[in-house]
Structure 1
Amino acid sequence: MGKPRNVAVFIYEQVDALDVTGPYDVFAVSSNWGKDFYVYTVGERESPVHTVSGLAICPKYSFDNCPGPDILVVPGGLGARKEMNNEAITAWVQKMTASAEHVLSVCTGALLLAKADVLDGLQITTNRRAIDLLREVAPTSAKMVKDVRYVDNGQIILSAGVTAGMDAALHIVRRLLGSERAHNSASMLEYHWRESDFSGLVSKDSLQKDEKLLIRKAGLADLEAMQQLYREAARWIHSSTGFFQWPEAAFTKEYLTSFVEEQEVFAAFLKEELVGCFSIQWQYEEIWGDQFHDNAGYVHRLAVSRKYKGQGFGSRILAWAEHYIRYRGKAWLRLDCMADNPALNRYYLSQGMTFRGRFDSQGWSANLYERKIKREEEDLSHE
């Protein structure tokens, strides 16, 4: 069993009670009795704060002694309008964001993220009554999204007001631990999860065109399905080419566990069925040699279920990956393909990929491809 993720819920004077307790309870209920999440409150100091409705809450930790959060929740409330000018708070939020896996703002908690200078180039949203205020303090590069429960930028997720924070928190649970865990948690809370009412890295219209294809971060709960998918792909590579470029026996639970824990791995689902899997890497890879540059995301270990051959899922996954890479501030999508598989190479060329060279290693070879990401802004806000 791995170490549970630390979930820090920040509290301050005049915070909204449900902005705090809603996401807090989502992560606590989803934690599998503390095995997957360690949830705690943190304040600027270890002294009680009072919510807008007068509830007193004593933070478990202060800035000085709190564990480093893997997930940081920044709630809203009337006090956010004051605390967004508190440099100690915004500096702490900025520092925690730099190392956190995910950051979730609820309601006017977005004001604190804006003043912490972490929203450059992102989709943003907040309580509909605070849209104009957020627009005033957010960077001009941020894109305001109205009439959604939450927006997902990858690391940073922002929600609308109050109960929308629970929707966004359940979305994070789904990304990390799977859809079943998120739905079970919503059921235990007797909460109607508005899971589809969001703006993510692809638009609602695209999701509908993709038959509700859901792409999210892979978690340990997905390992069995991932193992079946990759072993199926390995068998297909061998049967179609005679090569063992992906040895079936290599996809052990141990290998896939380290794959999920050490890389950004994404899983694509169609009605709860895993239909594709891939990772996106950003660091130097020997395979690219002198051609490496850090203005790209490298799509790696891309596999699509043979059950859905010819139905366009590979193209949809590449389009999603391109959106994600663009929102991470990169300009190129890169991948490699087994050099001695003509059909697969023709496919990537048909997807607008440009051949950049060949890498030869002992027993296997790969062709290198990349394509420039289009810079035109897509209409994600439906405004």
Structure 2
Amino acid sequence: MPIAQQSNSRNVAILVFDEVEVLDFAGPFEVFSVAGSELPAAPYAPFFPYLIGLNTQPVQARGGFVVQPRYRFDDAPAPDVLLIPGGNGTRRLLKHPALLQWLREQAARVEVLASVCTGALVLGASGLLDGRRVCTHHQAYERLRELAPGALPQEGRRFVQDGALWTSGGISAGIDMSLALVQALVGDTAPVRAEMEWMWVDQGDAAA
């Protein structure tokens, strides 16, 4: 079984699927990829990001963008950070029992479980949001309440941390959440933001 490039790196698994929103997964992937090269925590790089899919066949994201997952979700290196992006394709994931069960299993062991945009709906369908503060795309709160009536929606937040659970609003908010995650896990984002030339909008409520 392939493992992280460095034994002490945090494995960052990002799910992709047909009709996934491109920036939902590509933005966080870029943050963790840049952090892995710009924040060397000798003797190992701090993050090893990789894409996982329902299988390893190419995925057609929004707008016809095609990307190939590196691993199948149930046969991938064990993640330390697991991120579920959003997009129209999440609607089909809500009816994928094997994936939902796998998410429940991973939630019990990962260091961080995160979602971007309507990825929160998938976590809601998995039963992982009861009693948890959560945010999602501004147009998806009604659906979130239907799927997870026990969740505590935080409308108007760019991202929210509730313990090991991190959720963000739509699309570009996933980059801000990922930067906050890097700061929480490693303690520095300045080199990452400089390399990306990103104006970080820190409008979440992640613990300092």
How high is the TM-score relative to the length of structure 1? 0.50
Q: Distance in 2 between matches of 1:63 and 1:22?
A: 20
**Deviation of 1:187 (Å):** 1.8
Letter in 2 for 1:52: R
Deviations 1:258-304 (A, max 9, x none): xxxxxxxxxxxxxxxxxxxxxxxxxxxxxxxxxxxxxxxxxxxxxxx
Runs of 5+ in structure 1 lacking a partner?
201-214, 217-383
Q: Distance in 2 between matches of 1:83 and 1:60?
A: 19
**Deviation of 1:104 (Å):** 1.1
Q: Is the 8 A contact 2:52 2:73 kept in 1?
A: yes
**In the alignment, which residue of structure 1 is the partner of 2:183?**
174
**In the alignment, which residue of structure 2 is the partner of 1:185?**
192
Measured on the aligned residues, the alpha-carbon RMSD in Å equals 1.5
2:113 aligned with 1:103 = yes
Deviations 1:1-57 (A, max 9, x none): 970000000011110010010000001101136711111000111111110111111
Runs of 5+ in structure 2 lacking a partner?
1-5
Q: SS where residue 73 of structure 1 aligns?
A: strand
Letter in 1 for 2:172: T
**In the alignment, which residue of structure 1 is the partner of 2:54?**
44
Q: Is the 8 A contact 2:120 2:167 kept in 1?
A: yes
* Structure 2 counterparts to residues 338-353 of structure 1, below 5 A: none
2:201 aligned with 1:194 = yes
Identity in percent = 34
How high is the TM-score relative to the length of structure 2? 0.91
Q: Distance in 1 between matches of 2:147 and 2:74?
A: 28
Deviations 1:138-191 (A, max 9, x none): 132x2111111001002000000001000000011000111xx31221221111
Larger fraction in strand: 1
**Deviation of 1:88 (Å):** 1.6
Letter in 2 for 1:184: P
2:64 aligned with 1:54 = yes
Q: Is the 8 A contact 1:104 1:169 kept in 2?
A: no
Q: Distance in 1 between matches of 2:77 and 2:167?
A: 23
**In the alignment, which residue of structure 2 is the partner of 1:156?**
165
Which one has a bigger Cα radius of gyration? 1
Letter in 1 for 2:159: Y
- Aligned match for 1:69, one of 64, 79, 91: 79
* Structure 2 counterparts to residues 109-258 of structure 1, below 5 A: 109-140=119-150, 142-178=151-187, 181-195=188-202, 197-200=203-206, 215-216=207-208
Equivalenced residue count is 198
Deviations 1:288-332 (A, max 9, x none): xxxxxxxxxxxxxxxxxxxxxxxxxxxxxxxxxxxxxxxxxxxxx
- Aligned match for 2:18, one of 13, 16, 22: 13
Letter in 1 for 2:139: R
Q: Is the 8 A contact 1:9 1:20 kept in 2?
A: yes
Q: Is the 8 A contact 2:52 2:70 kept in 1?
A: yes
Q: Distance in 1 between matches of 2:156 and 2:125?
A: 23
Structure 1 stretches of 4+ with a deviation exceeding 4 A read none
**In the alignment, which residue of structure 2 is the partner of 1:22?**
27
Q: Distance in 2 between matches of 1:184 and 1:122?
A: 32
Q: Is the 8 A contact 1:113 1:119 kept in 2?
A: yes
Report 1 or 2 for greater relative contact order, CA contacts < 8 Å, sequence distance ≥ 6.
2
Q: Distance in 1 between matches of 2:196 and 2:20?
A: 22
Q: Is the 8 A contact 2:86 2:119 kept in 1?
A: yes
Q: Distance in 2 between matches of 1:64 and 1:121?
A: 27
